[in-house]
Each structure stands twice: as structure tokens, then as C-alpha cells.
Amino acid sequence: MKNNNIILMGFMGVGKGSLARELAASTGRIAIDTDDIIESMENTKIKKIFEKKGEPYFRECESKVSRWLQKSVHNTIISVGGGFYHVDNLQKIGHVIYLESSFDAILDRINACDNAASKLKKRPLLQDMKKAKKLMKKRHPHYLECADTVIHTEGKESAAIADEIIHLLKLSSK
């Protein structure tokens, strides 16, 4: 049985974290983020985990977090890292929403932030833009396959996307 969580999935920089906070504020639920949990669990920044232990180790951390989420987390808004779709129990954790956007719109969104440079720097798989664009293209069908709901996010503010989700899933507002 699903845990009544809402999972926000999508490529790096699409706005999962901001949307999770927006949804939390509107619904009174708590928002958590899988990257934050991994950083606490390892007491290390994601960038350093990639550098010191490699991507396969990071993916194992994601799997560990996914088992914990399934077992222990309920009624929560969960934003997940862009590669989290690989875990084998995503569907059992909650309702999966794929936040879809074009690569260019994601870059525009990041570049519009005051701290754009640090947003890029902390993401090891967002250093070479050609490679990142390819990665996004490769992942798109997997995201679609995992998703219960797809939301097109381009040109929309997080508040508007949050309203769309609240309406679609008939969530009660605070």
C-alpha cells in the first residue's frame, strides 16, 4: 500500500525543492528532500560523495533512503534527486509526479537565480552541458514510465504548479 506521500521527480534544476516547500506551506504537510537526507546520513555534501566515493556509492545511498521512506514516511512531500527514479520501490513510496520541462528552460531557470553559480557547482552531473542534455534525453522515458502524473512546468511559477497539484490530487489546503 502506498504511504500517501507525494514524490516530486524530474531533472536537476527543474524546481522540485521550491515546489516541495510551496506545497508544504499550502497543505500543512512536511517537505523533505532525498539529497538533504543523504547529506545528513553521510555528513558530507553530495559533490564530495561523488568525488570521494563515486556515483555508484551515491546511488546505493539513494536506495537505502528509498527503503527508509517506504517503511517510515507518510503524508509527506518528498522531492527526490534527478537520478532517484532508479530505486526499485518508488511506486510503493507514494504518488509520483514527474515535473517535465525542456533543458533550455531548466538552464534559464537556474541562470535567473542570484546564486546560479553555486546551484551549478554543487551538481556533479550538471558541469558539462552537452552531457547533461544527453542525460536528460536518456532519462525522459524512464521518468515517464515511473510517473503517476506528469506536470508541464515551463513558464509556470511554483505557486501555480502547487495549485495545479492540489487540484489534481484533491489535496486539502491548510
Residue pointed to by grid coordinates 500517501: 4
Q: Which stretch binds ligand S3P (CB under 6 A): 87-95, 118-126, 144-152, 166-174?
A: 118-126
Q: What is the Cα–Cα distance from 40 to 43, expressed in whole angstroms?
A: 5
7 is an interface residue for ligand S3P by CB under 6 A = no
Q: Does 125 bind ligand S3P (CB under 6 A)?
A: yes
Stretch that binds ligand S3P, among 24-32, 80-88, 99-107, 142-150 (CB under 6 A): 80-88
**C-alpha cell of residue 39:** 547529506
Count Cβ neighbours within 10 Å for each residue of 5-27 and write b for 16 or more, e otherwise. Answer: bbbbbbbbbbbbbbbbbbbbebb
Nearer to ligand S3P, 136 or 167 (CB): 136
Nearer Cβ to ligand S3P (81/94): 81
Three-class secondary structure assignment of 64-79? HHHHHHHHHCCCEEEE
Q: Does 46 bind ligand S3P (CB under 6 A)?
A: yes
Strands (E), 5-143: 5-9, 30-33, 76-79, 94-100
Residue of the chain from 29, 61, 83, 162 that contacts ligand S3P (CB under 6 A): 83
Question: In the complex with ligand S3P, which residue's Cβ is closer, 28 or 45?
Answer: 45
Interface with ligand S3P by CB under 6 A: which residues? 12, 16, 35, 46, 81-83, 123-125
